[in-house]
Amino acid sequence: MRSNSVKLGAPRAPHRSLFKALGFIDEELERPLIGVVVAQSEIVPGHAHLGLIAKAASDGVREAGGVPVQFPVIGVCDGIAMGHVGMRYSLVTRELIADSVECMAMAHGFDALIFIPNCDKVVPGMLMASARLNIPSVFVSGGPMLAGRGAGGKTLTLTTMFEAVGAVGSGRMSEAELDELEERACPGCGSCSGMFTANSMNCVTEALGMALPFNGTAPAVHAERIRLAKKTGFLAMDVLKKNILPRSILTERAFLNALALDMAIGASTNTALHLPAIAGEAGVALGFEVFNAVSAATPNLCRLAPASDTPIEELHFAGGIPAVLKELSRKGLIDDAAPTVYGTLGDAIKAALNCNTAVIRPIDDPHSPTGGLAALWGNIAPEGCVVKQSAVAPSMLRHTGPARVFESEEAAFDAIMGGLIKPGDVIVIRYEGPRGGPGMKEMLGPTAALAGMGLDDKVALLTDGRFSGASKGAAIGHISPEAALGGPLALVREGDVIEIDIPARAIAARVDDAELLRRGAEWKAPPPKVVSGCLARYAERVGSAARGAVFE
């Protein structure tokens, strides 16, 4: 056992004395030590209940003969951090989480790990850590929040609230109506109730094979979630006994399975940031070209919030991720022989049922023949950019319009709320990339304001930053290389005509190469926005969003 390095033999008597200071007894020190990595906190709704999940998982470990040992990691609530300086600190935590888990696991000699994440950067940060450490690991998330219910039973999600801000700004909604929505939109604990980034990543964890079926969809407040956590505790002991290592699961075939699921469920554009980062830790290359190849072959089967009013709980009741994978397997789009922490992916698919074909469309009757995400290239995005095409109005899949250029998210948001953006415009928000932000802020405020004003099917938005999974519309992010590094987005000027052709995977400014070269020669890098602290260190080391915004 790895834990013998901290507890076995006379030289480890001092170590054992410290364990006994914690209340351990000799019988426990003879058993495997299972680290339970839990992101519980009192500031993140998705994490407020994780103590209960950790207890259930720990109960499972103890009943299976192991000794559970809980330790915490940090986590940012992207919704609370949205729209102000706090959003600069969200993506940064992904690397901090991976590093802190590595530190704790290596320092204390755990034999295996149970990871309990839920929200946006915590899931990929923990997956990166599991691949990096390569010791037996299993995952169980905290599960999604139930949808809110408004007047007449209308489904409410966090997107509803952000879009309502735009509706109030344009006079389409009263402040009294806004107040009523505020009381109802988020009814309790769990990750926000659409196919936003947190739920996208928890579902993807199933397809990667690192969690039991229904990890991504069983509601946070249902007893099923507690049972799932207990089973995960037992599973951790089984994975340890069989010495199943993360890198034996996180192979190229696993990432192709994850991408196929991603395309089928219309997951967040942030998966295009996180999956390459996780794959890199596992020694697998995963570029935008792979995303497009899988998207071209994989139909989009689910249209969940924000692409519709359907919350993620309906996906669970329809059969969950196993049912989606089963549909994909009918066309050979999933490698069901891929190993998982509990067997093979085929074991999850075998018993799956599609109980609601309105929520999970049959493979022969998809919403669209191609997947939910698309990568685009062109003279303003030579390394590529990403859009959630399943959440784009058909009329905006091809669009040409004048650039409205802003040097920050805040400036663009003020212009939108001030009525300065007109139908046909192409909003450009730059210097918000991984290095320029720094931290690559999400842009839910601007996209939701446009939707609330009824402009999401009339206006496009381009950025070297990124978008919340709750964003919808022609929101094209991750433009690489970013403006702060002199990428061509920095050279776009007010009024330049921008052409977007999502089906053709193309994006460009109608500016000839010679003019771009001339502008490039005149360009000067702006001073850094942050010169001290973790953001400054992050900006010095972070790489391109096209490669997952990992440290290079």
Among the listed residues 386, 199, 203, the one whose alpha carbon sits nearest the alpha carbon of residue 290 = 386
Q: How far apart are CA 343 and CA 242, in angstroms?
A: 11
Q: How far apart are CA 391 and CA 399, in angstroms?
A: 15
DSSP 146: P
3-state secondary structure of 137: strand
Q: How far apart are CA 135 and CA 464, in angstroms?
A: 36
Provide the edge-to-edge strand list for the sheet that holds 137-139: 67-72, 33-38, 112-116, 137-139
- For residue 175, with 0-12 CB atoms within 10 Å meaning exposed, 13-18 middle and 19 or more buried, which class applies? exposed
Q: State which H helix or E strand residue 257 sits in.
A: helix 252-265
Q: How far apart are CA 136 and CA 141, in angstroms?
A: 17
Cβ atoms 6, 18 nearer than 8 A: no
The pairing of strands 506-509 and 497-501 is: antiparallel
Cβ atoms 499, 508 nearer than 8 A: yes
Choice among 468, 471, 480, 544 that is catalytic: 468
The residue type at 512: D
Task: Tell whether omega for the bond before 187 is within 30 degrees of 0, i.e. cis.
Answer: no
Kindly state the tokens that stand for 355: 């109980």
3-state secondary structure of 499: strand
Does residue 368 have an active-site annotation?
no
The residue type at 155: T
Active centre residues (catalytic): 468
